[in-house]
Structure 1
Amino acid sequence: MKLTQLPHRTLAIVRGRDRAAALRTVLTLVEEGITATEVSLTTTDALWVIEQARRELGPDALLGAGTVLTSDEAARAADAGADFLVTPGVVEGLGTGLPVLMGAVTPTEIMSATGRGAVAVKLFPASFGGPAYLTALRAPFPDVPFLPVGGIDAAAARAFLAAGAVAVGVGSPLIGDAADGGDLAALRARAAQWRSSLAGAATI
């Protein structure tokens, strides 16, 4: 998985209480050009959502499982059709062979995540230090791909990308209540606004 090639340098994070609505949210995002999506395992029937989305979208959409904590969860996500895994912190021994975006925030955690083969560091929570903290981290870790997640709206996304993030993860500012059964037209409007807002930062 090449994070620098994410459309709009965006990973959409879907988390909701309604499995059918969560699936519709994933499909709508892809229709709107936001084709890299993480379905959090805290979503109701998340593995079903991933499996159905994979059937609907085929092999081209980039579909991952988020909030992966154990090797069993990782294996079930892989079986459901996930392309990659996302963890909230440093997790050992997931053992699926899938690319892993591993959560970290301190230098020690970043070294641990990269030492365990993370393809990128999910800088979480990104609000911990903001773009200035990412700038500081990139001095000792210039070759680590960072993907900030947590409390990121469009303005924060632009700032993090300017600070050197390869992409950003965005949840509620983009998803809103769509994954709980909210208005898909409103989701489409937010997706269009998000794409427009990051147009200068997006390279694809």
Structure 2
Amino acid sequence: MRPYWFALVGMMAVATGAAQAETENYAIDPSHTFVTFEIGHFGASTNRGRFDRKEGSVQLDRTAKVGKVEISIDMTSVSTGTEAFNKFLQGFEIFDSATYPTAKFMGDKFSFSADNVSEVAGTLTLLGKTNPVVLKANQFRCYRSPVYLREVCGGDFEATIDRVDWGMNYGLIFGFPRTVHLVIQVEAIKQ
């Protein structure tokens, strides 16, 4: 009976090792990752901007259909195409980037459609406040990069948030909307 026990324990150890080996680590590719926001402007047009500096990592197990993602966003890197507007957004009435220079998304609940990520639920920390956010994938795919000669996974994700949940109240009395549309283009390189 003892040899059987050792064989069973050995098989379990091999199976556990194989399951753990499925988790792959990826580093965010900053040249293919952008966090973009859109907010209405008096119902006449849409203000848009993006953050140019970000970093992070992804852990993905497509077999077990689980993952984790962490993206840090440099709030001082906001870019709208107009320097005066960039400075206004960095000011205390909007992003207050002097006090809160970094925003962070952390997601640990991945949903899949077949083999592709369909949404990631997690939290967004902005202006010192953390609230839940669900990013829905418009597309997702892994491919072998001819540049990096490694696997790259990425997609286009989006969410609509209520900025008031983070204490961003500027412009409400003028009729600016509470809702902000986030569009996140992300690609990560297998390590």
Band of TM-score, shorter chain? under 0.3
Higher strand share: 2
Asked which structure has the greater RCO (Cα within 8 Å, sep 6+), the reply is: 1
Give the TM-score normalised by the residue count of structure 2: 0.24
The structure that has the greater radius of gyration is 2
